Structure 1
Amino acid sequence: MLDTRFVRENTEIVKEALKSRNSDINIDEFLVLDKKRRELLVEVEQLKSVRNKVSEEIGKLKKEGKDAEEKVLSMRKLSQKIKDIDAEVKTVEDKLHDFMLGIPNIPHSSVPTGVDENDNKVVRTWGEPPKFEFDPHAHWDIGTGLDVLDFARGAKIAESRFTLLKGLGAKLERALINFMLDLHTKEHGYTEVFPPILVSTDSMMGTGQLPKFGAELYKCADDDLYLIPTAEVPVTNIYREEILKEEDLPIKFTAYTPCFRREAGAAGKETRGIIRQHQFNKVEMVKFTKPEESYSELEKLTSDAEEILQKLGLHYRAIELCTGDLGFSAAKTYDLEVWMPSYEGYKEISSCSNFEDFQARRANIRFKTENKKVRLIHTLNGSGLAIGRTLAAILENYQQKNGSVTIPEVLRPYMGGIERIE
């Protein structure tokens, strides 16, 4: 959430930022509500001042033994008027708060201006696409042929876009999770956490999933709880309504969780295989940093995700998202896209973002400086990585002519020494 005072004092900057995001939010509505709120607050303070004077006059009259009934009646009317205005202030403040919840973050000045994904900027690439002496197959055909992915039974158990992993497919999924967690905790300095995968409305509000993306979430019918779309939600909310110590920053968490998304708009080839599932596993990285360090920490966060792809030997590119393609809460984002032979192109496998104080203001996460000043913290997160998409990339990029799949060397210790799925 943006700072109300910032929006009030920098209206044109906010309007331009929203325009660059292709947002249709009308900031003039905010200005009307904000002005109304401030006018009501002035009016109610004036009435309270008058009421205090009347109260003093009543006390003086009673002390002198004089009739104070008229003044008492006047004070009752003032009190009722104040009560009515307080109620109106509450209504306006609620509307203002709801409006502010719907405003996306302001893009950082370094973010390229653009309309959509076509205007994103490739900042670097690593490796080369594999060269095959045969026509490569899609991961869904490879996985089915090796009997490690079962789409029919996954759909029977649940519905379409739920997949059953079997045998070495399930083992490879687990190997990827453990490999990523080990790398982040042993080499990158993250602390592992395993959070709840059901979270409250307040938690969803804190990270910006609600109210905007409610239709994409799975909600428990009888409880005020949601299945998480990403570990970003519970991990960021670890410190909701808390004040941290400056000397403890940055705080770095990593978490493996199942994730759940309705993905209502997905269609076509996107729905085949395990690229876009309703349930999927992901290893997440979350950072809490001082504002002046958040952008250097974003570069480190992105590098931590990239190292996984490099160790797996998967060709990828890093993309800097333009203003029109930024996520709702992000001030700056890098996407990592892995090469997928079946698409003859790249698919997103990680998204690394700096939210600055946008989430911290919503979730009230602060830190106390050495001089005892309390400031909003900056939050960052990134996928490190999406497990299903990584598994799909391995099946496609390491496939062999005879239908088998070679296991990347770095994963073999996690696979009990197995070198090939066949």
Structure 2
Amino acid sequence: MLDIKWIRDNPEALDAALAKRGAEPQAATLIALDETRRSVVHSLQEMQSRRNAASKEIGAAMGQKNMELADTLKAEVAKLKESLPQAEEEERVASAALADRLSSLPNIPLDDVPEGADEHDNVVARTTGQKPGWNHPAKEHFEIGEALGYMDFERAAKLSGSRFTVLTGPLARLERALGQFMIDLHTGEHGYTEVSSPLMVRDEAVFGTGQLPKFAEDLFRTTDGRWLIPTAEVTLTNLVSGEILEQEKLPLRFTALTPSFRSEAGSAGRDTRGMLRQHQFWKCELVSITDAESAIAEHERMTACAEEVLKRLGLHFRTMTLCTGDMGFSARKTYDLEVWLPGQNTYREISSCSVCGDFQGRRMNARYRAKDDKATTFVHTLNGSGTAVGRCLIAVMENYLNEDGSITVPDVLLPYMGGLTRIEKAD
């Protein structure tokens, strides 16, 4: 959430930033709502102050046996008490109107983010590795998995409907190996603390990271009002909600390997074959909680941690700087890692690493305090995929496909595969 004080002081900057994201100007509306709120708050405070002062004056008047004045003051206090509920309701309505409008505003892009309308305007930051050099025909992951006999979409549809997959045998193990490898790498070498956290959260948690209220249709909700997490970013970031942290203990770095749940409401007709776009999938999430001075460097560090996963798997990928029109709602700058998929003959996003400034910190009311300083500042947050396990499985299947249809297990995953070096067709 953006700071209304900053908006009052920088209305042109806000509208210029929104224009970069393809959004309409909002500064004038927000300032008007804020002026209404401040006026109502001022009136309410004056009424409360006068009520308190008059109550004290009653005692003084009675002490002086000035009963006429005391009765006049009592009548005034009674009238104020009668008017206060309406004034309090006006203040609640005015504050809610401003808060609702602020909560729907996206974050402001950093100055070095390229301007653009959509994914076609993203910029390649760097390219890593080489495409596979074999000569046999490439295949898409669902062709490979179904031919091997370990990927079943019909039974998944019988159980749950579309956009679900059943993996069995060595392919299920390969998916598990990928997730285990990622979490081990990030905790063992990259300094992240592993977290096992709930998969269902309250409204406040999803609001804190920016999915509510604007993106409710992208989420799944339980019958008792909780939300299934669309990513562990929600739980890991909200670990510090409502807290005041000591600056010398920052950054905090968290990671979790969890299922994620998304309705894919806006993807009708896209990637309907296979497991590229699922309602349920595993992801290794990275989250950093840091101060304002360290956030940009932490973004580069986090992106490098995600890149290391793909490097060790020997996968070819490119790192993209997203343009203003393609960034997520809470992000100020985002790098996407796009892995090469031979079966599709294209790159597909496998990780997204974003720096959010104090946008989520303000929504969560999470702060930090410097040593020997009484003042507090909103934390800066970052999140990234380290990486999406299902898409990584797809990449391994398509890039390690052999001519006979089998899949070679990447060397880095061998310790997790129980001696299996190649996945071959089921008997």
TM over 0.5: yes
Report the Cα distance in structure 2 between the residues aligned to 1:13 and 1:302, rounded to whole angstroms. 28
The aligned residue for residue 406 of structure 1 is 408
Instruction: Identify the residue that residue 307 of structure 1 maps to in structure 2.
Output: 308
Aligned counterparts of 2:420 and 2:52: Cα–Cα separation in 1: 82
Give yes or no for the alignment of 1:13 onto 2:17: no
Partner of 2:332: 331
1:322 equivalent in alignment to 2:323: yes
Residue 46 of structure 1 corresponds to: 46
CA distance in 1, matches of 2:52, 2:285: 56
2:62 matched to which residue of 1?
62
Structure 2 distance, partners of 1:374, 1:47, is 31
Structure 1 residues 120-129 or 131-140, which shifts more?
131-140
Could you tell me which residue of structure 1 aligns to residue 96 of structure 2?
A: 94
Cα offset, 1:408, TM superposition: 0.8
Tell me the CA shift for residue 379 of structure 1.
0.8
Q: Which residue of 2 aligns with 1:113?
A: 115
Q: Does 1:189 align with 2:191?
A: yes
Q: Which residue of 2 aligns with 1:285?
A: 286
Q: Quick one: which amino acid aligns to residue 410 of structure 2?
A: P
Moved more, 271-280 or 127-136: 127-136
AA aligned to 2:113 is V
3-state SS of 1:292 partner: coil
Which residue of structure 1 lines up, in the alignment, with residue 170 of structure 2? 168
* Other structure's SS at 1:380 match: strand
Question: Deviation of residue 331 (structure 1)?
Answer: 0.6
Does the 8 Å CA contact 1:168/1:421 hold for their aligned counterparts? yes
Alignment correspondent of 1:388: 390
Tell me the CA shift for residue 48 of structure 1.
Answer: 3.9
Aligned-partner Cα distance in 2 for 1:57–1:267: 69
In percent, how many aligned pairs have the same letter?
Answer: 48
The residue aligned with 1:255 is 256
Greater Cα shift, 291-300 or 240-249: 240-249
1:314 positional shift: 0.5
Q: Deviations over 1:92-138 (max 9, x none)?
A: 11111111111111111111111111111100001121133222111
* Distance across 1 between alignment mates of 2:46 and 2:299: 48
Tell me the CA shift for residue 27 of structure 1: 3.1
Among candidates 216, 219, 222, match of residue 218 of structure 2? 216
Q: CA deviation at 1:81?
A: 2.8
Partner of 2:376: 374
Counterpart of 2:250 in structure 1: which amino acid? Answer: L
Aligned CA RMSD, in angstroms, stands at 1.5
Alpha carbons of 1:53 and 1:382: their partners in 2 closer, same or farther (altered >3 Å)? Answer: closer
Distance in 2, matches of 1:217 and 1:25, equals: 28
Indicate if the aligned counterparts of 2:44 and 2:91 stay in contact, CA closer than 8 A.
Answer: no
Aligned mates of 1:269, 1:98 — CA distance in 2: 32
The one-letter code of the counterpart of 1:114 is G
CA distance in 2, matches of 1:155, 1:296: 44
Letter in 2 for 1:293: S
Q: Distance in 2 between matches of 1:339 and 1:324?
A: 23
Amino acid at match of 2:120: N
CA distance in 2, matches of 1:74, 1:44: 15
Give runs of aligned pairs for residues 111-150 of structure 1, distance below 5 A: 111-150=113-152
Match of 1:351 in 2: 352
Q: How many residues get paired?
A: 421
SS in 2 for 1:62: helix
Q: 2:399 aligns with which of 371, 393, 397?
A: 397
Matched-pair contact (CA < 8 Å) for 1:245–1:368: yes
Question: Deviation at 1:84?
Answer: 2.1
Residues in 2 aligned to 1:165 and 1:409: alpha-carbon distance in whole angstroms: 22
> Mean alpha-carbon deviation: is it higher for 113-122 or for 18-27?
18-27
- Give the letter aligned to residue 368 of structure 2: F
C-alpha separation in 2, matches of 1:236 and 1:49: 40
Once the 2 structures are TM-superposed, how far is the Cα of residue 189 of structure 1 from its aligned partner?
0.9
Distance 1:190 1:49 in 2: 51
Q: What amino acid sits opposite 1:28 in the alignment?
A: A
Preserved contact between residue 55 and residue 77 of structure 2 (Cα < 8 Å): yes
Q: Distance in 2 between matches of 1:268 and 1:336?
A: 24
CA distance in structure 2 between the aligned counterparts of 1:269 and 1:100, rounded to whole angstroms: 32
Q: How many Å apart are 1:53 and its aligned residue? A: 4.9
Secondary structure of the 1:339 match is strand
For 1:71, the equivalent position in structure 2 comes to: 73
Q: Which runs of 4+ in 1 moved over 6 A?
A: none
Distance in 2 (CA, whole Å) between partners of 1:299 and 1:72 is 65
- Structure 1 residues 73 and 269: alpha-carbon distance in aligned structure 2, compared to 1, 3 A threshold: closer
What is the Cα deviation at residue 56 of structure 1?
4.8
Q: Could you tell me how far 1:355 is from its partner in structure 2?
A: 0.8
The amino acid that maps onto 1:417 is G
- Between the aligned partners of 1:49 and 1:411, the Cα distance in structure 2 is 69
In structure 2, stretches of 5+ residues that fail to align are none
Native 8 Å contact 2:12 2:27 kept in 1: no
Question: Equivalent residue for 1:83?
Answer: 85
Give the partner amino acid of 1:24. Answer: E
Check whether the contact 2:40–2:94 (CA below 8 A) recurs between aligned residues.
Answer: no
Shift of 1:9: 1.3
1:381 alignment partner, SS class: strand
The answer to whether the 8 A contact 1:334-1:351 is kept is yes
* 1:30 corresponds to: 30
Instruction: Give, in angstroms, the shift of residue 49 of structure 1.
Output: 4.4
Gaps of 5+ in 1: none
C-alpha separation in 2, matches of 1:240 and 1:88: 28
Query: Retained in 2: the 8 A contact 1:25–1:103?
Result: no
Residue identity matched to 2:213: P
SS of 1:342 mapped into structure 2: coil
